[in-house]
A and B are shown apart, each in its own frame.
Chain A
Amino acid sequence: MKFSGAQIMLECLRQEGVKHIFGYPGGAVLPIYDALYDYKDITHILVRHEQGAAHMADGYARATGQVGVCLATSGPGATNLVTGIATAYMDSIPMVAITGQVRTTAIGKDAFQEADITGITMPITKHNYLVKSGDEIARAIAEAFYIANTGRPGPVLVDLPLDVCLNKIEWDPSTYPKKVTIASYKPNNRGHEVQIKKAAAAIAEASRPVLYVGGGAIASGAQAEVTELAERTNILTTTTLLGKGAIDETHRLAMGMLGMHGTAYANHAVANCDLLIAVGARFDDRVTGKVDQFATKAKVIHIDIDPAEIGKVRVPEIPIVGDVRTVLRELLKHVEERPWGEWNDQIATWKELFPLIYPRDGKLYAEYVIEQIGEATDWQAIMTTDVGQHQMWAAQYYKCRRPRQFITSGGLGTMGYGLPAAIGAQMALPDSRVFCLSGDGSFQMCAQELMTATVYGLPVITAIINNRSLGMVRQWQEMFYSERYSHVDLQASPDFVKLVEAYGGVGLRVDKPEDVRAALEESLKIKNRPVVLDCVIPTEENVYPMIPSGQSIDEMRIRENLEDLKASVHADAEAWSFSDEDQVLARYVEVAKGGEARKESLIDG
């Protein structure tokens, strides 16, 4: 049968099981959009800016583990995808980006809307293709999906010239490869057996071990294995920003995030451990700070599917190349039980000494909003974030119960990511509640996608942590640039409530803690439109703890009035009108030795 290139491409997507494409039409993709007209089983989501399409595909992929697909025209359409592709690349997210291209005969001639998108995206894609003839389309698409979602996942771009999409060729859809093999691409999933045994021995010998779990554990679906390893060995576990949810963050062995804005106790644990078990994590500079002062007392086991990550930053004593889940399963065959010991008590003491804490002075704080979002949704909602202070507060205070619950641009740190990512997640999981935690700066970078949410009836709730300022930059200027606040003032912003209303959504504003819960309940009643909750917080609030960039834990800054704060929280817990008793307990647990056990005794008592 004869198919146009565009039809072949869509037929391939169908065979890959693609249900959603996030895209925006244009001249070079007209044949694709024309063919799309007949493919009713593939839902196309018309965005308002191609960057939104890329982030939506990314959010879709992070929420489900399936490959996200975005589509844009040549030239500016394609270049608008670039930020989104780079975001996915830095966080190893499986995505296929399809771009139109000018006719093959016009390539290289500076044609209208021509951009060398394969050249441009070479450093930010796992691989890319410029398809030069119709008979190459099927193979390119099949390989793109295979490469995107195997090994260390990542975005793959397929560039399709106009004439390639238009030309009809003889093609049989049943020839679409079910299984792809690429001679030069053979990811190694199984870890080396000898290395795994060595790792088990090192765990048995260690007296102060710490598990350091990253996004690789999420990508490989290893929550059960990570939890099993932690529980069997009583090893305290810290996760990276992308590793959030690899272990239930309310677990007695969970220490929250480590690194620049990580919990003090996680950082103390890492600084003092004698064995650091890095699981699908890459020793990012926001984690390590000064590399040669990071975990200096530790022997390192590094499990990662990407051999290039091993030794890139820190040379491990025991490298294991393989899929995290596969390797952990193998490792668990050799790891023996290990009792709760002095080291665990030590970390519990650090937890008590340096809790995550914020003022209870009647003002509204981001931390409180985040906790209330959790409470109002039974901690089941998916949370996406933008980038900045609110992102770090979310990382600290949003206690994920499961993987793929926390969706954030970690590596690239892309402002404007949150809302489209939330839309992507909501599109994938219509029955989930999806929150986007944003800032007044970040939100304005992709706010146009509110329209997309309205059109598709998506009830994503964006909580804007509004401090009328580019808060994280302001914090750095305060701390490291002598309070010379240069271009961080955002007093001049639109009225976010009116803005979302103009887009057909619902807007609410809160500036007092006692109003937050009611506003959230009201937001949650809305099932078919986006909601923006403008949360007005003090401008001067900073994220603590903080280890300044490129420094070590010795330079960690914590809240100065920590003891007063702790006292106030204790007193406050009595008086505060929490709707849920559990939350009061959770606050105690945060500071209480023994974690979960203590919580139970509090509930009993």
Chain B
Amino acid sequence: MANVMSPALLAQMSQQHVVTALVENRAGVLARVAGLFARRGYNIESLTVSVTDDPQVSRMTIVVGGDHRVLEQITKQLHKLIEVIRVMDYTEIPAVERELAFIKVSAESKDRAEIMQIVEIFRGRIIDMGEKTFIIEVTGSVDKIDKVCDLLNSYGIKEMVRTGLIAMARGARTA
């Protein structure tokens, strides 16, 4: 058996994978998918669902951790669900990936200019301004949002919500 793993493969093991599933837009489908992940012990980092251009079809974008064999099982098991139409693994496909976050951060007057600068550098937007807080909207890769959070943390993050990653293959290729 070819059990020896190449360094590249080993690196991939700790990798996170983006999988999208096109599913029938019906009640209970999310429960089926979530239940599948839970009972097979797969680790969901994030999961987003919304309707597609076809109102009969929803699209789930799931970020999971695990090695390539786990990923293969996830893909196959997802496909076994009757209401799952297509599954696509973005690991080796050129794709754009984005996440959106709202970050409510303490914004004392002395810090405001600095915070606004950070927001600008990361091409974010301030979408609410209170007496002592900003809500910042930022879009980008997971890494970028992590980075923004790191930087804002020193001012005091009060609350945060992230949409989870969404992905789409580059070029003409579709899911």
Q: Which residues of A contact B (CB under 8 A)?
A: 118-119, 122-123, 126-127, 130, 147, 182-185, 296, 306-308, 310-312, 315
Contact = CB atoms under 8 A, between A and B. Distances in A.
Contact of A307 (B69, B76, B85): B76
Contacts of B69: 311, 315
B132 interface: no
Contact of B31 (A119, A126, A184, A307): A119
B35 A122 contact: yes
B80 A184 contact: no
A127 B84 CA distance: 12
A183 B1 CA distance: 37
A159 to B, nearest CB: 11
Contacts of A308: 73, 76-77, 79-80
B82 A130 contact: no
24 contacts: A118-B28, A119-B31, A122-B35, A123-B35, A123-B39, A126-B82, A127-B81, A127-B82, A127-B83, A147-B82, A182-B82, A184-B82, A185-B82, A296-B1, A306-B80, A307-B76, A307-B79, A308-B77, A308-B79, A308-B80, A310-B76, A311-B69, A311-B72, A311-B73
Contacts of A307: 76, 79
A130 B73 contact: no
Interface in B12-68: 23-24, 28, 31-32, 35-36, 39
A431 to B, nearest CB: 37
**Interface residue tally on B, bucketed by range:** 20 to 34
Interface string B84-96: 1110000000000
B77 A184 contact: no
Contact of A122 (B32, B77, B79): B32
Residue in B24, B73, B76 with the greatest tally of chain A CB atoms within 10 Å? B76
A184 B28 contact: no
A310 B72 CA distance: 10
Residue in A122, A130, A296, A311 with the greatest tally of chain B CB atoms within 10 Å? A122
A185 B39 CA distance: 22
Given A119-B31, A122-B32, A296-B1, A184 B76 contact: no
A452 B77 CA distance: 39
Contact of A184 (B1, B72, B73, B83): B83
A127 B86 CA distance: 17
Given A183-B85, A306-B80, 8 more contacts: A122-B35, A130-B28, A184-B24, A184-B84, A185-B82, A296-B1, A307-B76, A312-B73
A89 to B, nearest CB: 12
Contacts of A119: 31
Given A307-B79, A308-B76, A315-B69, A184 B35 contact: no
A118 B35 CA distance: 12
Residue in B69, B80, B83 with the greatest tally of chain A CB atoms within 10 Å? B80
Contacts of A130: 28
A57 B86 CA distance: 33
A182 B82 CA distance: 8
Contacts of A311: 69, 72-73
B91 to A, nearest CB: 16
A389 B39 CA distance: 30
A118 B32 CA distance: 10
A315 B1 contact: yes
A294 B77 CA distance: 24
Nearest to A306: B80
A310 B69 CA distance: 11
Nearest to A316: B1
A411 B150 CA distance: 49
Contacts of A118: 28
A521 to B, nearest CB: 49
A183 B76 CA distance: 17
Contacts of B23: 184
A127 B32 CA distance: 10
Contacts of B86: 184
Contacts of A127: 81-83
A306 B81 CA distance: 12
Nearest to B27: A130
Nearest to A292: B3
Contacts of A184: 23-24, 82-86
A123 B31 CA distance: 11
Given A296-B1, A308-B80, A315-B69, A122 B85 contact: no
A485 B72 CA distance: 43
A118 B1 CA distance: 42
A63 to B, nearest CB: 26
Closest 4 CB pairs of A and B: A308-B76, A184-B85, A127-B82, A307-B76
A126 B36 CA distance: 12
B143 to A, nearest CB: 31
Contacts of A296: 1
Contacts of B77: 308
Contacts of B80: 306, 308
A280 B104 CA distance: 55
Contacts of B83: 127, 184
A185 to B, nearest CB: 5
A130 B26 CA distance: 11
Residue in B23, B32, B35, B36 with the greatest tally of chain A CB atoms within 10 Å? B32
A90 to B, nearest CB: 13
A36 B72 CA distance: 46
A18 B81 CA distance: 26
Contacts of A306: 80
A309 to B, nearest CB: 9
A592 B39 CA distance: 48
A312 B86 CA distance: 20
A312 B80 CA distance: 14
A307 B80 CA distance: 9
Nearest to B23: A184
Contacts of B76: 307-308, 310
Nearest to B40: A123
B40 to A, nearest CB: 9
A306 B73 CA distance: 11
Nearest to B34: A122
B20 to A, nearest CB: 14
B32 to A, nearest CB: 6
Nearest to A184: B85
Nearest to B74: A308
Contacts of B72: 311
A312 B23 CA distance: 23
Nearest to A126: B82
Nearest to A312: B73
A361 to B, nearest CB: 45
A122 B84 CA distance: 14
A118 B77 CA distance: 19
A128 B28 CA distance: 10
Contacts of B31: 119, 122
